[in-house]
Amino acid sequence: MGLAAADSQFHVLAVDDSLIDRKLIERLLKTSSYQVTTVDSGSKALEFLGWHDEDERNNSSEETSVSPKNHQEVEVNLVITDYCMPGMTGYDLLKKMKESSSLRNIPVVIMSSENVPSRITRCLEEGAEEFFLKPVRLSDVNKLKPHMMRTKCCNKDDDDDIQNQKPENLEKQEINGEEIQTVLQLQQQQQQPSQTNNNTNKRKSMDEGLSPDRTRPRYNGLTVMSN
């Protein structure tokens, strides 16, 4: 139960234009206790992920705009996509995700019914985590978890860093405030004896200036000639 509950926290987006293959991968993923969302094209996958192409959005805002409800309601931990799809291929989807600052860290796995070495190499070089040959098996699905774990741990570490930075900053601000108060107090304490000494010296100088025995009284370093 514990492992199943932990795995259910992972959300996989499956992309395939074939209904049969889509149902198969969905069943395999759910057997492994993953949350699954399926779409039939690369463009719908990008829409679900909240990605916008500026040119397409300007030309047809109604078709490419994404409502807030569809924009990453559930965190996607991995995308598994077919390679050969009409319109946008799995390779094109992979490239767009890796070019996006908000999507590049989501692991992408490519599936294909054709064993073409150059195609496999190109996808792996572009950043795909795995390349599965169809039909996908349960043993293939078992390879997905390490990729999702690594990404989830990285995201958690980033969140922890952000949360940990806030108290530290507040603490530093409090410390700086205390230091400022301490410095001001020390300055005031230093100024009080200095002012007292200055007043004493001024009175002493005035008394000396009035003394008949002084022929050349000095005030602040200036010599006054007596008549």
Q: What tens digit of pLDDT does each residue of 160-202 get?
A: 554 555 544 434 444 455 555 655 565 565 555 555 555 555 5
CB 98 within 8 A of CB 104: yes
What is the CB-side half-sphere exposure of residue 209 using CA atoms within 13 A?
14
> For the chain, what is the mean pLDDT?
75
Q: Has residue 7 been placed in a domain? A: yes
Confidence of residue 216 (pLDDT cuts 50, 70, 90): low
Residue with tokens 């994404």: 66
Task: State residue 66's pLDDT score.
Answer: 39
Confidence of residue 144 (pLDDT cuts 50, 70, 90): very high
Q: Has residue 17 been placed in a domain? A: yes
- Number of domains composing the chain: 1
Q: Pairing between strand 222-223 and 218-219?
A: antiparallel
Q: Has residue 222 been placed in a domain? A: no
Task: State residue 37's pLDDT score.
Answer: 97
For residues 66 and 48, give the distance between their C-alpha atoms in angstroms, rounded to a whole number. 8
- For 25, 38, 58, the CA distances from 20, given in Å and listed in that order, are 9, 12, 35
Residue with tokens 């078992």: 142
Q: Has residue 116 been placed in a domain? A: yes
Task: State residue 163's pLDDT score.
Answer: 57
Task: State residue 201's pLDDT score.
Answer: 58
Whichever domain contains 50, its CATH number is 3.40.50.2300
Nearest to 7 by CA among 156, 148, 153, 137: 148
Task: State residue 187's pLDDT score.
Answer: 55
Q: Has residue 173 been placed in a domain? A: no
Confidence of residue 154 (pLDDT cuts 50, 70, 90): low
Task: State residue 173's pLDDT score.
Answer: 44
Q: Is the pLDDT of residue 26 over 80?
A: yes
Q: Has residue 40 been placed in a domain? A: yes
For residues 7 and 4, give the distance between their C-alpha atoms in angstroms, rounded to a whole number. 5
Confidence of residue 147 (pLDDT cuts 50, 70, 90): very high
- For 31, 96, 190, the CA distances from 93, given in Å and listed in that order, are 26, 5, 70
What is the CB-side half-sphere exposure of residue 189 using CA atoms within 13 A?
6
Q: Has residue 200 been placed in a domain? A: no
Task: State residue 54's pLDDT score.
Answer: 43
Tokens of 110: 């490519």
* Prediction pTM value: 0.61
Q: Is the pLDDT of residue 139 over 90?
A: yes
Task: State residue 23's pLDDT score.
Answer: 97
Given 3-state DSSP classes, what are the helix, strand and coil percentages for the chain, each rounded to the nearest 5?
55, 10, 30
Task: State residue 169's pLDDT score.
Answer: 46
Task: State residue 61's pLDDT score.
Answer: 42
pLDDT greater at residue 200 or residue 104: 104
**Owning domain of residue 83:** 2-142
For residue 37, with 0-12 CB atoms within 10 Å meaning exposed, 13-18 middle and 19 or more buried, which class applies?
middle
β-pair partners for 112: 133
Task: State residue 31's pLDDT score.
Answer: 95
pLDDT tens digit sequence for 42-88: 999 999 999 866 444 444 444 433 333 444 456 899 999 999 999 99
Q: Has residue 55 been placed in a domain? A: yes
Confidence of residue 9 (pLDDT cuts 50, 70, 90): confident
For residues 218 and 224, give the distance between their C-alpha atoms in angstroms, rounded to a whole number. 6
For residues 107 and 104, give the distance between their C-alpha atoms in angstroms, rounded to a whole number. 8
- For 35, 48, 161, the CA distances from 13, given in Å and listed in that order, are 9, 9, 28
Q: Which amino acid is at 36?
A: V
β-pair partners for 38: 14
